[in-house]
Chain A
Amino acid sequence: MKNHNFPYPFSAIVGQDLMKRALLLNVVNPRLGGVLIRGEKGTAKSTAVRALCGLLPEIDVAAGCPFSCDPTGADPAGDGLCAACLARAQAGTLESTRRRVRVVDLPVGATEDRVLGTLDMETTIKKGEKRFEPGILAEAHRGVLYVDEVNLLDDHIVDVLLDAAAMGVNTVEREGVSFSHPARFVLVGTMNPEEGELRPQLLDRFGLCVQVEGIADIDDRVEVVKRRAAYEENPAGFSEAWAGREREVAGRVERARALLPRVVFSDELLRLVAQIAVDMGVDGHRADLVMMKTAKTMAALDGRDAATRDDVARAAEMALPHRMRKKPFQNIGLDKTALADSMAHGGGKGLVR
């Protein structure tokens, strides 16, 4: 339990650069649509997600609001206020607090009513008043929804999750309750493909997908064990020792967030993205959108104000692998040669214009 107060520092994770990068990208730009981390057991998947807590920025939330309404209304793409907050705002009693963006767990065994929210039975019976008791989706609004072993999630839970993730709104029509509230979250899932595959529809909802493998390098492996031992021996001390590095990463994220709205994405790159999507035969437009957003975020994270072809290439590597499957039972993966061909091809066309 003590470890809860001191999660393993993000910067202390050895290697796994692709995964770390994918997670950071989502912290910088919550609209990327989350990340699916695939890999064997014991490859620091869960550790990395938990470690993210320390890097998440602070946001303004309405005090006591179960839906974490944004009281400032500063974000033009925000969701407005819930009914209770609206009433408070009109009465002038809306108070604001600051807190870190949360990582909310969705346990594999969660029931539908717990995920969506349900009728508060106690109030109903005692006072004869219908009241909505918010569920996990409400808690996750403006935060990170983390599903460990996402491939083991029950089918009907996946369905309701998809519904909410697609619209950014949770609409509840159950047990005499009719309610809807914004539920915009970064979906982070981890899975071990040996345990079974995900439905293509759910795969597509994850903006990015990265594959993690155990580290092969002996020195690195030794380092993993050393750090882990040090952490377990004294979590507080270990966190303290890494605090400087953590601040560094957090600062980088903070700067990237500020820079992101100003990142330029040229028409040439836009064409390149569309070309890659067509060449690689992905379904729909989501891959295009994610590639573009990821490339922009990538630039911001590196402190540049314009995206480059290299950003697009690196974005494609994360945005395409899980969208490439024509048949859901083919192995997940990306044909890198095809991608390189497409890059050359698309780039050529772009330059002609």
Chain B
Amino acid sequence: MSARPSYPFSAIVGQTRLKRALLACAVCPGIGGVLARGQKGTAKSTAARALAALLPHIEVARGCAYSCAPRGPWCPDCTKRVARGETLETDWRPARLVELPVGATEDRVAGSLDLEAAIRQGRKVFSPGLLARANRGVLYADEVNLLPDHLVDALLCAASLGENVVEREGVSFRHPARIILVGTMNPEEGEIRPQLLDRFGLCVEVTAPLDLTERMEVLRHREAYDADPAGFAAGWAKAERALARAVVEARRALPLVRLPARLARRVVELCVEANAAGHRADIVLTRTARTLAALAGREDVRQSDLDEAAELVLIHRRRTSPPPPDEHPEPRNDERPDDDQKKQHEKPPEKTAKDPDDGRGESGPADARAGDDEGDLEDAPPQDAGDADGEAQTGASPSLETIFPVGAAFRVKPIVYRKDRLVRTGSGRRTRSRTSLKSGRYVKARQDPAATDPALDATLRAAAPHQRRRRELATPDGIAQDVAIVIRKADLRGRVREKRMGHFIIFVVDASGSMGAGKRMVETKGAVLSLLLEAYQKRDKVGLVAFRGEGAEVLLSPTGSVDLAYKLLEELPTGGKTPLVHGLSLGYEILARQLRRDPTSLPVLVVISDGRANVSLAGGKPLEEARECARVIADEPRIRPLVVDVEKAGMIRFGLAERLATDMGAQYFRIEDLRARDLVAALRRDVLSTGNDSR
């Protein structure tokens, strides 16, 4: 309804690769869409939206809500018409660009029961959703990495079948849904799932140009557009028309474009080199190269076309790149937590983990993949820190800092809370919970006179038996004159929804000099990383607090970005004194704040320390302060604490961490009893035990 014309595609300065990728998709839908990844404010969304004006016309069955092609596949309506022997009349209209907003609900994406028809006519009619609108067109998802998981599932399902199958709320319906996905994302906000990534034919990394003249041009254009959008668009209309024509011509020419045998071989070589999974890369690469040739008005593919196409096709399919690692499909049923056998079948380390040679026995071979930061890591021999251990005790060398590498990461078995009855408002992918937000899977209906989130099917069922009597009672001035079904307050049913939610885990890590001994920091970092990787996939919120030297700092405010967490973890220096109480109180503060925001969350506090403390927060004895803080934490039953004792083996044990754990009411583990992998198991056990008593 907005009369404001969108920014013209041809007026976008620079970003050649992104524009080429989008144009290629407009010419050849078979390429399968574009994912634009990049910094904020780099015309990603502008370009994607501007594509709408350049999409060529398609022939559709007249009046069909699903844009059926004249020769099929057909939606149920068109199928009926064809079966009756009707010839489908057709119209030509531009293919659509349909936007998928982040806040969309599943019923609007897949389609659902038509409210109006149900109430006014008492008929069960399917109301088509965005997937129907986008059939044979483009479905555009801005911030595609922020879409809730159940929407991504619906998208993936439709994209792979080319069909949308709806079985919900008493509706059973299927219709063709051949969609081109165009998405934009800022990787800072978290990655997208690999399955979804693979659905995008092309991928472009977008950055702002550093060239001053180009930047000035961007400024001039934007200012002109902001001042008078319509006038600006008019000024570019000619260029837009030319571009649209080029797309149509390229589409016509595409079937004639040939790929020489020599280059066909090269296609396969490129895909093998990139170690791309499956054959999709080969197919998409061929199509893209042909399309680029067609856009250039040629009938033969050249090496240059292939090179350009390879950059767009292989960037997100190369399989030697860092996280996220390949993902387990989410187990649909609650997995048995105490299934120890499975644990032993866990694969050794991820390929993706940067694996320094001094990782533990279970780390993979330290090969060339270890990366360019290997050099820095080598500069930090752990012995130095080992020496610092004793000194740090007395605080003699607080300035000595060492950066230890991150130990090997490993796959973590799913940590899942038992489902309880609390209604929550979070999001994520770990534990199923009732949710009061109007999103998530609709699991059942219950009587709800307020009906802020009404379940129409259940409401209608509840109202049905009373219809005859209510019709008789209806007064002439009643509200029920022109509706087929009279609904009373008592009939109203609300939806009970369920969705998976993440947890809130804060790691409080001792990064003082003593942690350097025996590569404990390497091990600790490895464990934290493993949990981070898993937590990221489950959309847990994870925070990292480190304490060393004179105080504690929040390295990572609770976030979902594992890349950042990894970087910070990698860079976390070790050295100096041990301000334990600072760490504990900071960790507690973060969790307490979270509990104030959302009293139903079950936060987990993981303290990794040897229990020593030699810096005071309030002027008292450091150790006493720490114990006092631990008791405060114990008093908050919703926080689940876990203490991992990293006191060095072989020396006289002080047992400080154990005492701290007792004060805190925390589970307690010694590091030598645990390899890094067992730390994860410990956390899992702890979390599971909380699941049992958390109602």
A residues touching B (Cβ–Cβ < 8 Å)? Answer: 31, 76-83, 86, 111-113, 116, 118-119, 121, 124-130, 152, 154-156, 159-160, 162-163, 166-169, 171-178, 180-182, 195-197, 199-201, 204, 261, 265, 267, 270-271, 273-275, 277-278, 283-289, 292-293, 327-329
Contact = CB atoms under 8 A, between A and B. Distances in A.
Given A126-B487, A162-B102, 14 more contacts: A76-B229, A77-B4, A121-B452, A126-B479, A159-B146, A163-B101, A182-B1, A196-B593, A200-B40, A201-B186, A270-B216, A284-B208, A327-B567, A329-B557
Contacts of A118: 438
A119 B451 CA distance: 11
Contacts of A77: 4, 226-229
A179 to B, nearest CB: 9
Contact of A160 (B101, B453, B454, B485): B101
A83 B1 contact: yes
Interface stretch (B108-116, B175-183, B620-628, B664-672): B108-116
A284 B459 CA distance: 50
Interface of B: 1-4, 38-43, 45, 49, 99-105, 107-109, 112, 114-116, 118-120, 127, 129-130, 142-143, 146, 148, 186, 188-189, 208, 210, 212, 215-216, 218-220, 222-223, 226-231, 425, 427, 437-439, 451-454, 456, 459, 479, 482-485, 487, 492, 554-559, 561, 564, 567-568, 593, 597
19 contacts: A78-B4, A81-B3, A83-B1, A113-B452, A121-B451, A124-B115, A127-B482, A159-B102, A163-B142, A167-B45, A167-B142, A174-B107, A182-B1, A195-B593, A270-B220, A284-B40, A285-B219, A292-B219, A327-B564
A167 B102 CA distance: 13
B564 A274 contact: no
Contacts of B38: 284
Contacts of B120: 128-129
Contacts of B49: 167
Contacts of A31: 226
Contact of A201 (B40, B42, B226): B40
Contacts of A125: 119, 454, 459, 487, 492
Given A121-B454, A176-B107, A283-B40, A196 B115 contact: no
Contact of A285 (B43, B105, B188): B43
Contacts of B109: 173
A286 B41 contact: yes
B215 A328 contact: no
A344 B438 CA distance: 54
B105 to A, nearest CB: 4
A156 B427 contact: yes
Given A128-B120, A166-B142, A283-B40, A273 B210 contact: no
3 A-B pairs with least C-beta separation: A80-B3, A284-B41, A128-B119
A173 B101 contact: yes
A174 B143 contact: no
B497 to A, nearest CB: 12
Nearest to A177: B108
A285 B44 CA distance: 11
Contacts of B146: 159
Contacts of B454: 121, 125
B456 to A, nearest CB: 8
Contacts of A121: 451-452, 454
